[in-house]
Chains A and B, each alone.
Chain A
Amino acid sequence: MNKDKLFHIVIYILLFLIAMTMIIPLLNIVALSLTKPEGALEFKGWEIIPKGFSLINYKVILSNVMVLKSIFNSLFITGMGTLINILMTTMAAYALTRPSLIGKRFFMTLLIIVMVFEPGLIPEYLVIKKIGLIDNYWSVILYKAVNVYYLIIIMRFFDEIPKSLIEAAEIDGAGHMRILFKVVLPVAKAAIATIGLFYAVYHWNEYFRASIYLNSQSKWPLQVVLRQFVVLDDTTSMIGVNNLLSYSDIARLNYKALQATTIIIAVIPILLLYPLILKYYTKGTLEGGVKD
């Protein structure tokens, strides 16, 4: 019996340490972003309490026109993208689960081809160029407009909706659109929320397509700006032109703290959605066996 108790203590300690390795680096970045510029220089990687509280880093970063514009761009791309994702995915899933649809096999084969064959980056870029979407938000919004895996998950959900429910609506004279929006979608709310979150997280985190398709800096999403500031270490553009600081204030600023602040700003939406993510996303993954 004692052996089992020891076994459990070891497990609790191990898990505690593992969780710490994941949360401390994040808390450290949060604390660094809130630290006074004077304290930032000696701020070490294991500290999680700010050294002298100050919001100056946030003031500087959020007064940067490039950052502000990019936050707006990210919100637009994520919102619009997710809306289109949900509409296109549910409409296609609904059509593909109707028994009367002719050519279902054909469409399903197309889906499998999409799943298996990955088109190369260059041909994709040339197509986007040909249809005139370079430097246009839509090139990024529509990239991954329908994810085949999520489409299949939604189809599985729609298949489980009792046939009698749809038949009853049909007898009442409702068309397919009406049935989808008034009958099917309300029933499948949890599933839609799950893939909606999948899509939203994807859009918010996407930076690569944006960096190749959007040439003008004014169209960049936040992740591209973040990459510029943090990964490529381009700190010169971090301080906005029209921020309200004096030169001596600017000279005091710590670039590492500013980088930390940008990281936190890019993570905030994920943290805000996190309770929902845990609820829907995790459950959806458990049930759907999705791995992405």
Chain B
Amino acid sequence: MIQSFKRLSKDKILYLMLMPAFVYFIVYHFWPMLGMTLAFQDYRVIGNNVWVGLKYFKILFGSPVFGNVLMNTVIISSMKLIFCFPVPIILALLVSEVRNSLFRKCVQSVIYLPHFLSWVVIAGIWINMLSPNGGIVNHIRNLFGLPSIDFMTSKQHIRWVLVFSEIWRSAGWDSIIYLAAIMRISFSLYEAAYIDGASKFQQMFYITLPELKSTIITVFILNLGYFMNAGFDQVYNFMNDSVISVIDILDTYVYRVGMVNVQYSYATAASFFKGIVGCVLIFITHILSKKLTGKGLW
């Protein structure tokens, strides 16, 4: 009797230990999730909100700005997927060939660093780098006889600025996962290739790369799952009036319409739409990942 009571009170403590995290999830996650119903209501400051059905979704899909924002999101995400994705793989291949451990350590410490800087800091550094007067990028252009470009206000270039700054920030850090995979490759494979007379480059191309296939697939489908997040922090900090029409993405749009223009219901409808598409993508990712690699997201 005393024994079982003791056990119960002991387990009660377990629930108490879970409590803070549980309460946090309720307040910061589940309550706002219920709040997404605001997308189907008219927001009232005083009194209860009124249900209006799909009114805001109809406005949303009828709005040319929303169409543009959706396009920007898809374009920027696709550009990042195509151009940012291969860089960490190449970087890992390069780093894995370095035998001098001091050089290797130095390179790794340097290329991981940008990952730990906030987008505010990175935006500051990049605005300085891309400046038409004294910026390093335009200096290099001038050396080759090319005219200076004000990248930050150029509609043609700003998306490429997003792509390259993303590479600058995360390629090094993202290469870790591939490096780990390369280190797991059996040494005997290389030995056999060496005996067959394969050059270093051939070994990289015919052994390392194929061995990396499953890691590459995993990372790729993971990225696919977060396709709708085109990079809020980055875009928010690189945005200005001259380029807003080409880099305004769903998240920055929701922020502007909701927090700045205080159109709560309309903004919630936009993020509801984004949430639905995002969820579908994550579930597809999960299923794809389970099928192809045997490991899902959860």
Contacts and interface: CB of A to CB of B under 8 A. Distances in A.
A260 B109 CA distance: 22
B116 A270 contact: yes
B114 interface: yes
A256 B125 CA distance: 11
B282 A116 contact: yes
B86 interface: no
Nearest to B295: A289
Contact of A125 (B106, B236, B259, B298): B259
Interface in A245-292: 256, 259-260, 262-263, 266-267, 270, 274, 277-278, 282, 285-286, 289, 291
B199 A92 contact: no
B110 A22 contact: yes
A118 B275 contact: yes
Contacts of A34: none
Nearest to A287: B180
A230 to B, nearest CB: 4
B155 interface: no
Contact of B123 (A107, A143, A230, A289): A230
Interface string B92-110: 0011011100010011011
Given A205-B118, A267-B121, A278-B109, A119 B136 contact: no
B231 to A, nearest CB: 13
B14 interface: yes
Contacts of A127: 27-28, 31-32, 35
Contacts of B118: 204-207, 223, 266
Contacts, number: 264
A24 interface: yes
A286 B24 contact: no
B261 to A, nearest CB: 11
A24 B25 contact: no
B28 A142 contact: yes
20 contacts: A8-B99, A11-B97, A43-B134, A46-B136, A92-B22, A95-B18, A100-B11, A102-B11, A115-B298, A119-B28, A120-B36, A120-B271, A146-B24, A176-B14, A205-B118, A226-B121, A230-B127, A256-B128, A270-B116, A274-B116
Given A107-B18, A121-B259, 15 more contacts: A21-B168, A23-B113, A25-B136, A28-B136, A29-B128, A119-B32, A120-B35, A124-B32, A131-B27, A143-B28, A204-B118, A205-B119, A205-B121, A223-B121, A277-B116
Interface of A: 3-4, 7-8, 11-12, 14-16, 18-19, 21-26, 28-29, 32, 43-46, 87-89, 91-92, 94-96, 98, 100-102, 107, 110-127, 131, 142-143, 145-146, 151, 175-177, 180, 201, 204-208, 212, 223, 226-227, 230-231, 256, 259-260, 262-263, 266-267, 270, 274, 277-278, 282, 285-286, 289, 291
